[in-house]
Amino acid sequence: PEEHIDAEGFILESNEIEVYREFEGAIIVNDLNLTVNGTLDLSIHFLDHDGDEIEHEDETEHEEGEDDELSFEIVDNSIISIEMEEHTDEEDDEHHELGFELTGLSVGTTTFTLSLMHDGHADYTSLPISVTVE
């Protein structure tokens, strides 16, 4: 059977500090601020119906080539850029975190959405996430 992540929200963490939380259609925390040329390494943790983290482990193995991946849509890509983190074989295969790097390009505020893609469709799509670059 195909495995899908049944997420009700997610947390973005930078250095293990929560900077964004979205749960059941509401933005609970949004502290995404950075400077021009500044970067944030963000890890994403999806939440279940109880608000607990969904473990993204090998127990949700997919057929070859069907890994979950993130997709981003930035409203104004002159203000921020997003780059996926590369995973190496040296990383712990049992628990790989989904992560990305957010970079401030110019002063302003914009939004982006992220989608957890699986086999050509989105299992989860976020609300617009606001980012301020100073």
Q: Which of 62-71, 83-92, 107-116 has the highest average model confidence (pLDDT)?
A: 107-116
pLDDT of residue 133: 98
Token couple for 55 = 């473990």
Rounded CA-CA distance 40/12 in Å is 10
Cα dihedral 134, 10, 4, 81, rounded to 10, equals 10
CB contact burial 42-61 (16+ within 10 A = b; e otherwise): bebbbbeeeeeebebeeeee
Mean pLDDT taken over the chain = 85
pTM: 0.83
Dist CA 134 CA 120 (whole Å) = 36
**Residue 81 · residue 51 · CB < 8 Å:** no
Which tokens sit at 130? Answer: 């606001």
pLDDT digits (tens, 9 = 90+) for 25-48: 999 999 999 999 999 999 999 999
Strand partners of residue 117 = 69, 122
Per-residue model confidence as pLDDT tens digits over 43-66: 999 999 999 998 765 434 444 445
For residues 36 and 103, give the distance between their C-alpha atoms in angstroms, rounded to a whole number. 8
